[in-house]
Amino acid sequence: MDYFKTAFGGFAPHLDEDAAIKFTLNTVLLDNRLDELVEVVIDGSQFGGIEGEPGWMLERRDVADEGNEMAYPGWPAGARFKASVDEDAYRLKHPEYFMDREGFMKYLVLAIDAYVATDPARKNAPSVVALRKVVM
Residues facing residue 98 across a β-bridge:
82
Give the residue extent of every domain in the chain: 33-135
Per-residue model confidence as pLDDT tens digits over 24-79 = 999 999 899 999 999 999 988 888 999 999 899 999 998 888 777 777 888 998 99
Instruction: Return the SS3 of 19.
Output: helix
User: How deeply is 46 buried, as exposed, middle or buried, from its count of CB atoms within 10 A (0-12, 13-18, 19+)?
Assistant: exposed
pTM for the model: 0.90
Helix (H), strand (E), coil (C) string for 51-69: EECCCEEEEECCHHHCCCC
At residue 135 the predicted structure's pLDDT band, cuts being 50, 70 and 90, is confident
Phi, psi at 129, each rounded to 5°:
-60, -45
